[in-house]
């Protein structure tokens, strides 16, 4: 079954075309046929598409064309996928794309697993806009666009970033503010990056040969957005992002945890409106805010190592220290774990940052193997701790699109979804 996976942002659409079915899932041989992104939708858009050849290499197609909206962008993607130019084996018409899987950021308290998109599900996703005003409207644009391009009978599935965390116990998801605000406004921790943390959990148990119920790990997703997830018995039991993706770790441009009193103080001192303070915390903080240079970890490391830049070094220190504290607190909350697992652009590629985080965790039983750590970059998967370490460490490159494609296949076929 060929599944189109879509991830719609405010001015971009990312896609992958994945061939999967039950047999391929069991053998872990589902195939990515094509992938790409359209950026700067709403003006002269940049198109960057690739087809994966049989030998694993790719052929690329790039162009700049005006695309008015998400619907025009998605039409462009589909037209290209089925075109003779793309020449994807077995795909030459709309009918060869069996279903579309959407990444949807917020499912609230009701939408707790992947599901076929019906009018009533669309309504429920719309109801969650309040909780994720920056994200859900973009995801909905993709859903409306597919209806327009494929017609109303298109099979569409929603895969929620919050769903993996629906197993959080109440004592982990409640904030200590008056309970009526939870009742009235659903203010609580939801957590995000759930598709990524779920993939890490699945992949780890496959690699080490464990049943899901025996997986006790801390999954650390470090990309532009960053979050930690305590996974006990294969289920999420706590996670660092909160009602929104602003809470928790230091991120590229987001502050993560701060004293909430800072908001009023900053507003008073700088004369900022509520919206301006939110913008500072979301867009001008984190690695960018501390360093004053960049939100890109590669550039920060270069500044720290090559130019000995004080604030670049400080930004990386604050970043690593916050992660260390979360590891310690989650190990306590979980009564121990067998591994900490790194994923996301920084987690997968930076042995430097991983080394900084792991350094000083020897008392917890983590002993990183220097050579393994240095060698496990650029998409490699494997253990980076020494054999016999009481607490292991692994690198598992995330694959959210694969999870979305598999869930889409299962939902379309009416199969049971693994947790
Ligand atoms: P993501 O959002 O998962 O694509 O991750 C983006 C982040 O990964 C950016 O901060 C990049 O600078 C960072 N990143 C990618 N490659 C490397 C690398 N080799 N070393 C350090 N950071 C990297």
Residue 75 domain-assigned (yes or no): yes
pTM above 0.85, yes or no: yes
User: Which ranges in 307-391 belong to alpha helices (H)?
Assistant: 310-334, 344-349, 351-358, 370-375
**Strands 226-232, 217-222: parallel, antiparallel or unpaired by DSSP?**
antiparallel
Cα distance between residue 381 and residue 379, in whole Å: 7
Residue 255 domain-assigned (yes or no): yes
Distance 60 CA to ligand 1 centre (A): 22
Domain ends where: 98, 125, 160? Answer: 160
DSSP letters spanning 120-186: HHHHHHHHGGGT-TTTHHHHHHHHHHHHHHH-TT--EEEEESSGGGGG--HHHH--SS-HHHHHHH-
Distance 16 CA to ligand 1 centre (A): 20
Residue 167 domain-assigned (yes or no): no
CB-based burial of residue 38 (10 Å sphere; 0-12 exposed, 13-18 middle, 19+ buried)? buried
Nearest-atom number in ligand 1 for the CA of 225 is 2
CATH of the domain at 262: 3.30.420.40
Q: Does 301 lie in the same domain as 213? A: yes
Residue 201 domain-assigned (yes or no): no
Cα distance between residue 358 and residue 111, in whole Å: 36
Q: Does 153 lie in the same domain as 216? A: no
The SS3 of residue 249 is coil
Can you give the pLDDT at residue 62?
Answer: 96
Q: List residues bridging with 261 in a β-sheet.
A: none
Residue 410 domain-assigned (yes or no): no
Q: Does 232 lie in the same domain as 112? A: no
Q: Does 320 lie in the same domain as 248? A: yes
Our count of domains for the chain comes to 2
Is residue 356 within 6 Å of ligand 1 at its C-beta?
no
Q: Does 247 lie in the same domain as 103? A: no
Q: Does 231 lie in the same domain as 133? A: no
Residue 151 domain-assigned (yes or no): yes
Q: Does 35 lie in the same domain as 155? A: yes
Mutate to test the pocket of ligand 1, among 251, 288, 345 (most ligand atoms within 8 A of CB): 345
Q: Does 247 lie in the same domain as 141? A: no
Can you give the pLDDT at residue 134?
Answer: 86
Q: Does 100 lie in the same domain as 20? A: yes
* pLDDT digits (tens), the chain, 419 positions: 999 999 999 899 999 999 999 999 999 999 999 999 999 999 899 999 999 999 989 999 999 999 999 999 999 999 999 999 999 999 999 999 999 999 999 999 999 999 999 999 999 999 999 888 889 999 999 999 999 999 888 999 999 999 999 999 999 999 999 999 999 999 999 999 999 999 999 999 999 999 999 999 999 999 999 999 999 999 999 999 999 999 999 999 999 999 999 999 999 999 999 999 999 999 999 999 999 999 999 999 999 999 999 999 999 999 999 999 999 999 999 999 999 999 999 999 999 999 999 999 999 999 999 999 999 999 999 999 999 999 999 999 999 999 999 999 999 999 999 86
Nearest-atom number in ligand 1 for the CA of 252 is 10
Is residue 399 within 6 Å of ligand 1 at its C-beta?
no
Q: Does 245 lie in the same domain as 146? A: no
Residue 290 domain-assigned (yes or no): yes
Is residue 124 within 6 Å of ligand 1 at its C-beta?
no
Ligand 1, atom 4: nearest CA belongs to which residue?
345
Chain-centre distance for alpha carbon 213: 23
Query: What value, to the nearest 5°, has the Cα angle with vertex 83 and ends 78 and 86?
Result: 95
Instruction: For residue 246, give its domain range.
Output: 209-395
Is residue 398 within 6 Å of ligand 1 at its C-beta?
no
Can you give the pLDDT at residue 168?
Answer: 98
Nearest-atom number in ligand 1 for the CA of 301 is 21
Is residue 223 within 6 Å of ligand 1 at its C-beta?
yes
Residue 391 domain-assigned (yes or no): yes
Is residue 277 within 6 Å of ligand 1 at its C-beta?
no
Q: Does 130 lie in the same domain as 265? A: no
Catalytic residues: 161
| Residue for token pair 């792991």 | 358
Q: Does 273 lie in the same domain as 362? A: yes
DSSP letters spanning 254-320: ---S--THHHHHHHHHHT--HHHHHHHHHHS-HHHHHHSS-S-HHHHHHHHHHS--HHHHHHHHHHH
């Amino acid at each position: 079954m060929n599944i189109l996976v879509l991830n719609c942002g405010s001015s971009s659409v990312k896609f992958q075309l994945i061939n999967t079915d039950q047999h391929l899932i069991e053998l872990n041989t589902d195939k990515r046929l094509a992938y790409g992104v359209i950026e700067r939708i709403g003006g002269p858009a940049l198109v960057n598409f690739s087809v994966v050849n049989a030998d694993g290499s790719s052929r690329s197609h790039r162009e700049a064309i005006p695309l008015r909206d998400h619907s025009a962008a998605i039409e462009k993607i589909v037209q290209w996928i089925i075109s003779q130019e793309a020449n994807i084996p077995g795909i030459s018409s709309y009918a060869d794309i069996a279903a579309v899987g959407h990444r949807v950021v917020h499912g609230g308290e009701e939408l707790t697993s992947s599901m076929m998109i019906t009018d009533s599900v669309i309504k429920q996703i719309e109801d969650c806009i309040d909780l994720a005003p920056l994200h859900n409207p973009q995801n909905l644009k993709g859903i409306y666009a597919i209806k327009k391009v494929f017609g109303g009978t298109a099979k569409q599935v929603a895969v929620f970033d919050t769903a993996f965390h629906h197993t959080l116990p109440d004592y982990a998801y409640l904030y200590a503010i008056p309970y009526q605000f939870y009742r009235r406004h659903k203010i609580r921790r939801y957590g995000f990056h759930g598709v990524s943390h779920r993939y890490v959990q699945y992949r780890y148990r496959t690699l080490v040969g464990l049943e899901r119920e025996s997986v006790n790990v801390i999954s650390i997703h470090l990309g532009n957005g960053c979050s930690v997830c305590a996974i006990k018995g294969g289920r999420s039991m706590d996670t660092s992002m909160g009602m929104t993706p602003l809470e928790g770790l230091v991120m590229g441009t987001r502050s993560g945890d701060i004293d909430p009193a800072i908001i009023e103080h900053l507003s008073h001192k700088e004369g900022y409106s509520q919206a301006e303070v939110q913008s500072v915390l979301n867009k001008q903080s984190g690695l960018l805010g501390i360093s004053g240079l960049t939100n890109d970890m590669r550039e920060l490391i270069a500044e720290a190592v090559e130019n000995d830049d004080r604030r670049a070094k400080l930004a990386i220190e604050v970043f690593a220290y916050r992660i260390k504290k979360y590891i310690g607190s989650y190990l306590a909350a979980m009564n121990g774990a067998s591994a900490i697992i790194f994923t996301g652009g920084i987690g997968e590629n930076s042995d430097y940052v991983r080394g900084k985080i792991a350094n000083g965790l020897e008392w917890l039983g983590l002993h990183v193997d220097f050579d393994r750590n240095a060698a496990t970059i650029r998409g490699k998967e494997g253990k980076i701790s020494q054999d016999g370490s009481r607490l292991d460490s692994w690198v598992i490159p995330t694959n959210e699109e694969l999870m979305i494609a598999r869930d889409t296949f299962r939902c379309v076929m009416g199969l049971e979804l693994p947790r």
